[in-house]
Amino acid sequence: MPALLESPENIVLEMQGIRKSFPGVTANDGVQLRLRRGEIHALLGENGAGKSTLMSVLVGLYRPDSGSIAVRGTPVVMRNPRRALRLGICMVHQHFLQSQRHTALQNIALGHAYLRLFPRWSRIRGQVERAAQKYGLGLDLDAPIALMPVGERQKVEILRALFHGASILVLDEPTAVLSRQETEILFQVLRSFAAEGGSVIFISHKLDEVLDIAHRVTVMRKGRTVFSGPMAGMDAPRLARLMVGRDIHPQQRKARDLSGPTVLSLRDVSVRASGPLPSLRQVSFHLKKGEILGMAGVSGSGQRTLAHLLAGLQRHHAGSFQLFGRPAPVGDVRAFTRMGVAHVPQDRNRTGLASGLSVMENLVLKHYRQLFCRRGIMAWDRARAWSVERIQELDIQCPGPGARTASLSGGNVQKVILARELAVRRPQDSAPRLVVAAYPCRGLDVGAAQELRRRLLASRDLGSAVLLISEDLDELFSLSDRIGVLFRGRLLGLYPREQLSRELVGLMMGGHVPPHLELGKGESEP
Amino acid sequence: MSLKLERRADTSLPAEALVLLASILLATMVGAVVFAAVGAPPLSALWVLLREPFGSSFGLSETILKTIPLAFCALAVALALKIDMWNIGAEGQLYMGALAGSWLALHGPNLPTPLRLPAILLAGALGGAVWAAIPAMLKVYGDVNEIISTLMLNYVAIAWVEYFVYGPWKGADGFPYTATFHESWQLPLLYRRVHVGILLVLALALLLYWAERRTALGYEVRVVGASVRNAHYGGIPVLSRLLLLMAVAGAAAGLAGVGEVSGVEHRLHAGISPGYGYTAIIIAFLARRNLLATVGVAFIFAALVVGGDGLQMAFPQVSSAVVQLLQGTLLLLVLTGGFFTRYRLVRSRGGR
C-alpha cells in the first residue's frame, strides 16, 4: 500500500449518516463508510446487519431516508444504478444479473455506450480481451452464459465492471459460490486491480478471507457501523467479536454415553428415485437417543432422499424401517410429526416454509391441528401468543408474528424453521425425539450458525436423536458422535468420529473406501 | 426536482379503492368517446347508463337480480384462485347446476313440499360441484391443465342442456324449453323479481370469507396456495384440499344456475346464462380474489349489464358490444391501476 494518507484526494468514496428503514426494520441507522484509493475494504457483518442495504443505497437501487454520499469529494445523489456506473461504481451481485441467452461478450457489453444501434463488436472485443489479459481473467467470450459454471460467470461480471471503467468495485459475498482455487484467482485479480489504483468493497462474513485480502475493514452490526479501521493487528477472534457482539467459543465436546434406546433403525432400505430425488440402495444404520449422527457426501448422493424418508415424505420399497421400535408409518407426515419427528429441510424457502405467509402462519404449520384447532376452527389468538413465545425463544429478528416471512433475512428464516421443528414433540417430551436436519447452517454467518448448532446440541441434550446432513466437515466433526458417508445412494460406512479424519471422509465422499475401513465395519447391530 | 417511482412497502386499502374509483371514472370517459363516435349524445347516454340500474326501484331490483348469478360465479372463480387454480368453467358449472335442479323439479322423486327448495338448491350445488370436480381430478391425477379442461367442459355442459331442452324435456308447446316448474319448486321472491338467492350469495360470501380466516381448512388452503411443497412437507393432504376447494367453487356456480331456473325463469332453456361465468372471471380479478369484494364488484357489473340494456333501448345505434367494451376497459384500467397501489411517485431533491 503506497499511500494510506488521510489526504482528501485519496478518499474516493465517503458515505455519511446513511439511514434507510423499511416498515418495522431499520436496516441502516446512520452508517459511515470511507473508501480510499487503491484499497480493498472489507464490509463485514452478520446476515441482516445491513451490508446489502448499504450497498444497494450506494449503487442507486435504494434511496436513503437521510445521509450523504460523496464520490471523489463531490456530493452526489445516486438516482439509479446507471448513475452509479457512470461515476465508476459497479457492483457484482451475489446472484448474477445476467442474460442467460446471450454470450459472455454480449453480457459484458450490455448497457455500454458502444452498444448502439450498430454495436462495434470488434472494438468491444479488443478492449475486453485487453482487460482480460491484464488481470489474468481468461475465458471464452463467445460461450453462452447459460452453459458457464458459476466461477466463470463471476469472471464475466468482473470483466463487465472493468470494461465499463469501474474504479470502485463492490463484490457481494463473491466467494460463496467459488472453490478454493477460484477464490485464489479472484483474490489475485482484486489485488492487481487495487494496485492499479482501483478500490474494492468486499462484502463477506468469512473471517479468514477478510484477514487474507482486506487492507481495511468496516464492521456492521444491527444496522450500525461498530468498527472501521485498518486490518493491522486484527485477528479472527477479534473480528468475530466485533461482528457478533460477543465471544464465540468453539463447541465443547465431552465423552458421551450412548446407551439409550434405539430411536431409528434402517435395515437394507432401498428407495426408488423419484423426480429430483435420487435413489437409496440398501442403507442400514441405527440411531440412538441422545446421539448425533453426521451424514457426509457430495451433494446429490441421496441425502435429500434419506431426509425425506426419515421425515415421512418418501416411501421405501424394500428393507425395514423401524421408528421407536415399530414399523414407521411411511408416507404419513402427520403421524411422524405426532411421534415427535422434526425435519429441517434442505430447501428452506420453498419446502421449509411458505415465504408469502406470515411468520405465525409458518410457525404453526406442524402444530395447528393439535394445539390451536377445535372442531375445525382455529384459535388464532392463542396461536399468536404461542408464536410470540417461539420468536422470543429463538430470538428471531422480525417486526412481529404477523410479518411476512419473505422480509426476513436468511438466518432468521432458518430460525423460524428451527423454532417450529424443535417444538415438534409429544406432550410428555421436552424435545423432539428425532431431528432430521439437512444442511442447517448452510449460507448462514458465523454467529447465526453458531446459534443454530447450539440449539441442536441443546435439543440433543434433552434427548433428541439427531441426523445431521452436512457438507461442512468441520461442522460434522465438531458435532457428530458417529459419521457416515453417502455415495451414489449407498452408505459407504458409519464410524465413530474418533476413527475418522477429514481426509478419510473426503476420500470416501469420492467413493474410495480405504482398505482398513471395510464396508460396514463400523456399524454394529442395535 | 424530479419524480421517481418507488416500490411501496405495503399495498393500502384506500389506495386500492381509489384506483377502482378512478378506473370507473376513466372508463366512463372512454365510454363517452365511444358514444359520441357512434352518434349518441355522450352525456345523455351516460345518464341512461347510470339512471337505468339505480334510478328506479325497478332498475335497482333488476340490478340486484343480475348480481346473484354474477356473484355466485365470481365466488367460484375467486375460490379456485386461492390455490392458483384457474376456474374458467363457472359457466359450465352454472349450466350443470341448472340442469340438475331442473331434473329434480321436473322428473325427480316426489318430495314433500317443505323439502323441495332445500333439495333443489342442494341438487344444483351438487351438479356444479361434480362438474368442477372433473377438471380438478384431471389436474390432480393426470396433470391436465385446468384452464383448458374447465373451459372445454363449458361447451359440454351447454351441449347437455341443449340436448335435453331440444329433446326429452321439450315442453308441450314445442319450443326449446322445458315445462314451467311447479310453484313449490320456485324460489320465493323478496322484492319484485329479486329472489332469495341474493341472501344466499351474501351468506355464502360471508361464510367463505370467515372460513378462509378462521378455520383450519382455510389455513390449509392458504398454505397450499402459498407453496404446494411446503404444504406437502407440513403433512397437509394437498390433493384432497384441492379437490374440496374446486368442488365448493363448482357448487357456488351451480347455485347460480339453480337461482336462474328456479328463481327467475322457472324453466330450463339453452340460453340460461348470457356468459355470467366469463364475466365472473373479470369480477374475481377486479375484486383481487377477495371473497367479500366479489359481491360488491358483481353488483357494479350487474349495473353495467342493466344500464347497457337500457342504453340499447334508448339509443338503437349503440350496440351491445359497447357494454362489453366498457367492461374490458374497466378491467384494463384497474389492472394498470394496480401498478400504482404497488408503487408510488416520489419527488427527489437536487441532483445534477
Q: Which tens digit of pLDDT belongs to each residue from B296-333?
A: 999 988 998 898 888 888 888 887 777 778 878 887 88
Indicate if the pLDDT at residue B218 is higher than 90.
yes
Indicate if the pLDDT at residue A355 is higher than 50.
yes
| B235/A366 touch (CB, cutoff 8 Å), yes or no | yes
* Neighbour tally for A358: CB within 10 Å: 20
| B227/A345 touch (CB, cutoff 8 Å), yes or no | no
pLDDT of residue B325: 83
Nearest beta carbon to residue B215 from set A333, A350, A377: A377
Report yes or no on A204 lying in a domain: yes
A-contacting residues in B 4-23 (Cβ below 8 Å): 4, 6, 9-10
| A63/B215 touch (CB, cutoff 8 Å), yes or no | no
Residues of chain A found within 8 Å of residue B352, distances taken between Cβ atoms: 76-77
Q: Which domain holds residue A387?
A: 347-423
User: In this complex, how many residue pairs, one in chain A and one in chain B, have their CB atoms less than 8 Å apart?
Assistant: 83
A390 and A478: one domain? no
> What is the nearest CA distance from A81 to chain B, expressed in angstroms?
14
Q: How many helices (H) and strands (E) does chain B have?
A: 13, 4
| Average pLDDT value for chain B | 88
Nearest beta carbon to residue A351 from set B4, B216, B229: B229
**What span, in angstroms and rounded, lies between the C-alpha atoms of A469 and A486?**
10
What single DSSP character describes residue A274?
A: B
pLDDT of residue B118: 95
Which chain B residue lies closest to A330 (C-alpha atoms)?
B235
Residues of chain B found within 8 Å of residue A352, distances taken between Cβ atoms: 230, 233
Strand-pair partners of B4: B346
Nearest beta carbon to residue B350 from set A77, A311, A377: A77
Report yes or no on A2 lying in a domain: no
Q: Point out the domain boundary residue: A221, A244, A267.
A: A244
A103 and A175: one domain? yes
Q: Does B143 touch chain A (CB under 8 A)?
A: no
Residue type, A192: S
- Rank A3-7, A92-96, A460-464, B161-165 by mean pLDDT and report only the highest: B161-165
Q: CATH no. for residue A109? A: 3.40.50.300
| A334/B235 touch (CB, cutoff 8 Å), yes or no | yes
Residue type, B282: I
Which chain A residue lies closest to B235 (C-alpha atoms)?
A333
| B230/A353 touch (CB, cutoff 8 Å), yes or no | yes
A374 and A481: one domain? no
Report yes or no on A1 lying in a domain: no
pLDDT of residue A115: 64
The conformational region for residue A24 under phi > 0 = left, psi -120 to 50 = alpha, else beta, is: left
Residues of chain B found within 8 Å of residue A343, distances taken between Cβ atoms: 233
**What span, in angstroms and rounded, lies between the C-alpha atoms of B18 and A20?**
29
Residues of chain B found within 8 Å of residue A345, distances taken between Cβ atoms: 233
pLDDT of residue A276: 74
- The pLDDT of B159-177, averaged and rounded, is 89
Would you state the cell numbers that stand for residue A354, as one nine-digit string?
A: 411458505
Would you state the cell numbers that stand for residue A290, as one nine-digit string?
A: 441422545
At CA B262, angle to CA B258 and CA B268, rounded to 5? 80
Indicate the range of A38-47, B199-208, B268-277 predicted with least confidence: A38-47
| Phi, psi of A305, rounded to the nearest 5 degrees | -60, -45
The H-assigned helical ranges of A34-120 are 51-58, 81-86, 104-109
pLDDT of residue B351: 37
Rg, chain A, Cα only: 26
Which chain A residue lies closest to B7 (C-alpha atoms)?
A62
Strand-pair partners of A33: A15
**What span, in angstroms and rounded, lies between the C-alpha atoms of B352 and B346?**
17
| A333/B233 touch (CB, cutoff 8 Å), yes or no | yes
CA A113 to chain centroid, in Å, comes to 37
| A356/B226 touch (CB, cutoff 8 Å), yes or no | yes
Indicate if the pLDDT at residue B344 is higher than 80.
no
User: Residue B165: which of B95, B268, B275 has the closest Cα?
Assistant: B268
Indicate the range of A213-217, A258-262, B63-67 predicted with least confidence: A258-262
Indicate the range of A35-44, A72-81, A393-402, A441-450 predicted with least confidence: A441-450
Nearest beta carbon to residue B223 from set A345, A352, A354: A354
pLDDT of residue A331: 84
What single DSSP character describes residue A389?
A: H
A308 and A414: one domain? no
> What is the nearest CA distance from A309 to chain B, expressed in angstroms?
12
DSSP B170-239: --TT-SSB-PPPPGGGSPPEEETTEETHHHHHHHHHHHHHHHHHHBHHHHHHHHHHH-HHHHHHTT--HH
- Of A20, A277, A336, A357, which to mutate for an interface test with B (greatest number of B Cβ within 10 Å)? A357
pLDDT of residue B136: 94
Q: Point out the domain boundary residue: A392, A423, A454.
A: A423
Position A521 confidence tier, pLDDT thresholds 50, 70, 90: very low
A452 and A335: one domain? yes
> What is the nearest CA distance from B216 to chain A, expressed in angstroms?
5
> What is the nearest CA distance from A176 to chain B, expressed in angstroms?
26
Cβ atoms of residues B79 and B225 within 8 Å: no
The H-assigned helical ranges of A342-472 are 359-363, 368-371, 380-393, 410-422, 446-461
CA distances from A20 to A51, A56, B109, B342 (A): 12, 10, 71, 19
Q: Point out the domain boundary residue: A228, A244, A260.
A: A244
Position B352 confidence tier, pLDDT thresholds 50, 70, 90: very low
What 3-state DSSP class applies to B4? strand
* 0.90 surpassed by complex ipTM: no
Which chain B residue lies closest to A22 (C-alpha atoms)?
B9
- The pLDDT of B55-66, averaged and rounded, is 92
- Of A26, A77, A347, which to mutate for an interface test with B (greatest number of B Cβ within 10 Å)? A77
Would you state the cell numbers that stand for residue A444, as one nine-digit string?
A: 448462514
What single DSSP character describes residue A251?
A: P
Report yes or no on A328 lying in a domain: yes
Cβ atoms of residues A336 and A387 within 8 Å: no
Indicate if the pLDDT at residue A3 is higher than 80.
no
Report yes or no on A336 lying in a domain: yes
Residues of chain B found within 8 Å of residue A76, distances taken between Cβ atoms: 351-352
Task: Report the first-to-last Cα separation within chain B, whole angstroms.
Answer: 10
Report yes or no on A443 lying in a domain: yes
> What is the nearest CA distance from A385 to chain B, expressed in angstroms?
16
A298 and A369: one domain? no
Position B72 confidence tier, pLDDT thresholds 50, 70, 90: very high
**What span, in angstroms and rounded, lies between the C-alpha atoms of A25 and A225?**
16
Q: Does B240 touch chain A (CB under 8 A)?
A: no
- Rank A322-331, A478-487, B253-262, B289-298 by mean pLDDT and report only the highest: B253-262
Torsion angle of the four alpha carbons A421, A427, A431, A435, in this order, in degrees rounded to the nearest 10: -50
A-contacting residues in B 292-331 (Cβ below 8 Å): none
A215 and A109: one domain? yes
Residues of chain B found within 8 Å of residue A332, distances taken between Cβ atoms: 235
Residues of chain B found within 8 Å of residue A355, distances taken between Cβ atoms: 226-227
| A376/B217 touch (CB, cutoff 8 Å), yes or no | yes
Domain count, chain A: 3
pLDDT of residue B244: 95
A417 and A471: one domain? no
A305 and A158: one domain? no
pLDDT of residue A418: 92
| B229/A333 touch (CB, cutoff 8 Å), yes or no | no
- Of B223, B224, B228, B346, which to mutate for an interface test with A (greatest number of A Cβ within 10 Å)? B223
Indicate if the pLDDT at residue A248 is higher than 60.
no
| A347/B222 touch (CB, cutoff 8 Å), yes or no | no
- Of B83, B219, B239, which to mutate for an interface test with A (greatest number of A Cβ within 10 Å)? B219
Would you state the cell numbers that stand for residue A411, as one nine-digit string?
A: 438466518
Nearest beta carbon to residue A79 from set B214, B232, B351: B351
- How would you class A107 by CB atoms within 10 Å of its CB: exposed for 0-12, middle for 13-18, buried for 19 or more? buried
Q: Does B227 touch chain A (CB under 8 A)?
A: yes
pLDDT of residue A255: 53
User: Residue A416: which of A447, A445, A443, A448 has the closest Cα?
Assistant: A448
Of residues B74 and A426, more confidently modeled: B74
- Spell A286-310 as b/e; 16+ CB within 10 A means b: bbbbbbbbbbbbeeebbbbbbbbbb
- The pLDDT of B137-152, averaged and rounded, is 91
Would you state the cell numbers that stand for residue A141, as one nine-digit string?
A: 467470450
Report yes or no on A149 lying in a domain: yes
pLDDT of residue B135: 95
- Interval A194-224: pLDDT, tens: 998 999 999 887 778 888 899 999 998 888 8
Q: Does B168 touch chain A (CB under 8 A)?
A: no
Position A1 confidence tier, pLDDT thresholds 50, 70, 90: very low
Position A155 confidence tier, pLDDT thresholds 50, 70, 90: confident
A203 and A253: one domain? no
> What is the nearest CA distance from A335 to chain B, expressed in angstroms?
9
pLDDT over 70, % of chain B: 93
Q: What is the pTM of this model?
A: 0.72
Specify the long-range contacts of residues A96-101, CB closer than 8 Å, at least 24 apart.
A96/A153, A96/A154, A96/A156, A96/A157, A98/A145, A98/A153, A98/A156, A98/A157, A99/A145, A100/A144, A100/A145, A100/A146, A101/A144, A101/A145, A101/A146
Q: Which residues lie below 8 Å from residue A27, measured CB to CB, with a gap of 6+?
A: A20, A21, A50, A53, A223
Residues of chain B found within 8 Å of residue A347, distances taken between Cβ atoms: 229
Interface residues from chain A to B (CB-CB < 8 Å): 22-23, 63, 76-77, 79, 311-313, 332-334, 336-337, 343, 345, 347, 350-357, 361, 364-366, 368-369, 373, 376-378, 380
3-state secondary structure B290-345: CHHHHHHHHHHHHHHHHHHHHHHHHCCCCCCHHHHHHHHHHHHHHHHHHHHHHEEE
User: Residue A355: which of A305, A421, A408, A430 has the closest Cα?
Assistant: A408
Indicate if the pLDDT at residue A113 is higher than 80.
no
Interaxial angle between packed helices B57-81 and B197-214, expressed in degrees from 0 to 180 and rounded to the nearest 10: 30
Of residues A103 and B67, more confidently modeled: B67
Which chain B residue lies closest to A334 (C-alpha atoms)?
B235
Strand-pair partners of A269: A283
Position B266 confidence tier, pLDDT thresholds 50, 70, 90: very high
| B216/A378 touch (CB, cutoff 8 Å), yes or no | yes
**What span, in angstroms and rounded, lies between the C-alpha atoms of A354 and A361?**
9
Which chain A residue lies closest to B348 (C-alpha atoms)?
A79
| A376/B216 touch (CB, cutoff 8 Å), yes or no | yes
